[in-house]
Structure 1
Amino acid sequence: MDAESLKDKKLVIFELDNVLFPEKDYLLQVYYLFAQFIEYSEQKGAGPIIEFMRTEYENQGAEQLFEKTASQFEIDQKYQYNFDLLHQNARLPLKLLLFKNMLTFMQELVVDRKQIYIVTAGNPEQQLNKIRQTEWNGLEQYLTVYFADELNQPKAEIFQNILNSNNLSSDNALVVGANNLDEQQSKLINLPYIESLKIYK
């Protein structure tokens, strides 16, 4: 992507996870905190639990991870509540860092006076927690955020509302995403779409 292709764009819409930063940077810290909590509550060593969760996540994803961990280490099912709660309100040991290409891209958008929107799916509390614990390098003041699950609207509808509120056509905007859903939702209203990995490639 070059400056020429952005010339007519007035605003850019981003997803969060795996677009602005790696989702795993958040989840692995949540798993670390959970293992520490279990060590404190049940006197089970945190090290093996952290290693098991990290390996399972990297090989199989986040699905059923509490159940697998509970079975492996004989952890009481009551701790599912704490596991889920940590996803929403964890105070991370380390801030989430933007991908370098995204940081550069967003900084250039600000310099060029283009609007920046984030339209993110997933649990709104969890997504907000991520936003609060991201190192934005001063960009936070330029962000407008929509939580798709809170609005209970498909992304295409939110995209269209953003265009309407700014009196813009789809040609004046760009969606930056990382999955087929973002691309499909963009195409529904003829919004140009680009994968985040292709920015500055």
Structure 2
Amino acid sequence: MAFEQYIENKKAFVLGLDNVLYPEKDYLLQVYYLFSEFMTYSEQLDSKAVIAFMQDEFAAHGAEAIFEKTAVKFNIPEKYKVNFALLHQNARLPLKLLLFQQVLSFLQEIVVERKEIYLLVNSDPLQQINKIKQMEWHGLEQYLKLYFTEEFEVEPSIKSLQFVIDQHHLNKEEMLMIGATDKEQAIAAVAGIDYLTVTKLL
């Protein structure tokens, strides 16, 4: 078993979504593509130029203020910011989102071992559900228990993790949290749960 060292002494696994199960850029770049196509339809802009700019901007600076930067570059009216935000929540993607291959194998081994998987998902629930629905799960979806941190606090916090622990009567010593951010690692530390950065699996 490739992941035995992480699985053998644990019974419950808590994972995030973005950049833990899959690369978030795979979602965002498809949203940007759809937005560029919408701009061609609505404002007769060159979609290839728009998506090329957004891809370059994302690669250099991430998603922060990318609408504003694109709007300045192409004189896009402010009213389209609403459409841009809605696309993040309800985009129908051209391509399914694929899990990191090693994470997929890891989850499959957990299922074979009849252990529990909890998804503790940050950010806007509508957007995150939209992603989850368009992921290629290979049948794993039936084994997942899903929770949203925003149901407890706007920022990820110990509250949501503690709720999962209490709700399912979990033993902290038998849990492993897998994440991709310092915030997730800090929450696991406060909760007294072992933490694994996802890069160790990839």
Match of residue 96 from structure 1: 97
Match of residue 171 from structure 1: 173
Structure 1 runs of 4+ off > 3 angstroms? Answer: none
Aligned AA (2:103): M
* Distance in 2 (alpha carbons) for counterparts of 1:18 and 1:4: 22
Aligned AA (1:197): T
For the 8 Å contact 2:3–2:106, the answer to whether it is kept is no
Match of residue 194 from structure 1: 196
State the SS of the aligned residue for 2:150.
helix
State the SS of the aligned residue for 1:193.
strand
Alignment of 1:1-12 (within 5 A): 2-12=3-13
**Residue 156 of structure 1, CA deviation:** 1.8
Alignment of 1:22-171 (within 5 A): 22-152=23-153, 154-171=156-173
**Residue 162 of structure 1, CA deviation:** 1.6
Aligned length: 200
State the SS of the aligned residue for 2:119.
strand
Name the CA shift for 1:15/1:160 in 2 (closer, same or farther; >3 Å).
Answer: same
For the 8 Å contact 1:12–1:117, the answer to whether it is kept is yes
* Distance in 1 (alpha carbons) for counterparts of 2:149 and 2:5: 31
For the 8 Å contact 2:22–2:100, the answer to whether it is kept is yes
For the 8 Å contact 1:170–1:190, the answer to whether it is kept is yes
RMSD: 1.3
* Distance in 1 (alpha carbons) for counterparts of 2:93 and 2:5: 39
* Distance in 2 (alpha carbons) for counterparts of 1:41 and 1:70: 14
* Distance in 2 (alpha carbons) for counterparts of 1:181 and 1:79: 32
Name the CA shift for 1:42/1:182 in 2 (closer, same or farther; >3 Å).
Answer: same
What TM-score, normalized by structure 1, do the two folds share?
0.95
Aligned AA (1:105): F
Q: Which runs of 5+ in 1 are unaligned?
A: none
For the 8 Å contact 1:70–1:76, the answer to whether it is kept is yes
State the SS of the aligned residue for 1:85.
helix
* Distance in 1 (alpha carbons) for counterparts of 2:22 and 2:185: 18
Q: Which runs of 5+ in 2 are unaligned?
A: none
Percent identity of the aligned residues? 47
* Distance in 1 (alpha carbons) for counterparts of 2:6 and 2:184: 20
